[in-house]
Amino acid sequence: MSKRVALILAGCGHLDGSEIRETISSLLALDQAGAQVTIFAPNQKQKDVMNHYDQTSQEQERNIFEEASRLARGDIHELKELTVDNFDALMIPGGFGVAKNLCTFAFEGSNSQVLPAIESIIQEFHQHRKPIGAVCIAPALIAKALEGRGISVTIGKHPETAKEIEKTGASHHSCEVSEIHVDENNKIVTSPAYMYDNADLKDVFKGISSCVQKMLEMAD
C-alpha cells in the first residue's frame, strides 16, 4: 500500500520561499517511490520578496500559499487543513523561505520562533513516531520545533548554521551534498542539497532521493 506524505512549502523561490529544484526533486522522488503526496502551505504574507536575479529586496507583498501554488500546479491545501492522522510521513524541502516564513531562523538563529501551526504539526508527527524528511535549511526548522529532544540532523558543512542548530539541543553531523543523515531513534532523515550553493543538480537529487527512500522505509 502506498505511503501518504504531507509536503509543506514556504513559497516559491530559493531566496524567499521554497527552493524550486529541491521541491521538484522531492516530488519526483516521492512519485518514483509510489507515494501519495498532498501539498500544504500557510496562507499568509511572506516575510519579504526577493529579485532572484540580482538578489535585491523588492517593495511588494506576496502570499506564501499563492506562491507555493505555482510549484503545486494549483493542487494545494492550506496548512490548517493538515491532519497528521491522515499521513504516514512529513517532507519539507528547503529554501530561504523555510527560515524566513515558517520560522525566524534566518534572522535569529537558535533564538528563533517557529510558526505555531508548523511547530504543532512537526511535534505531532514526532510524537506519533511518523518519519520526517527535511532538506537544505529545513533541518534547522525541525531542530527548533523539537528543541531539547536530542534529535540529530545535517545541513552539510556550514559551521555557523551547524553551531546555531546545536544550541537547540540537536546534534549536527557533516554530510556531502549527495548524502543523508538518519536519526533512527527519532525517525528523522535529512540531506544538505543546496546548502552547497554550487552543487550539481544530479547530486542534489541523489541526496533527496535517498532521503525520501529512507523516510518511506521508516513509515509504519
Q: Which of 12, 103, 136, 175 is catalytic?
A: 136
CA neighbours closer than 13 Å in the CB half-sphere of residue 165: 27
Q: Are 36 and 4 in contact (CB under 8 A)?
A: yes
Nearest one of 27, 127, 39 to 82, comparing CA atoms = 39
Nearest one of 178, 179, 180, 176 to 215, comparing CA atoms = 180
136 is catalytic: yes
26 grid coordinates:
522531492
β-strand partners of 4: 36
Q: Are 190 and 180 in contact (CB under 8 A)?
A: yes
Q: Please classify residue 130 by burial: count the beta carbons closer than 10 Å to its beta carbon, then call 0-12 exposed, 13-18 middle and 19+ buried.
A: buried
Catalytic positions, written as ranges: 136
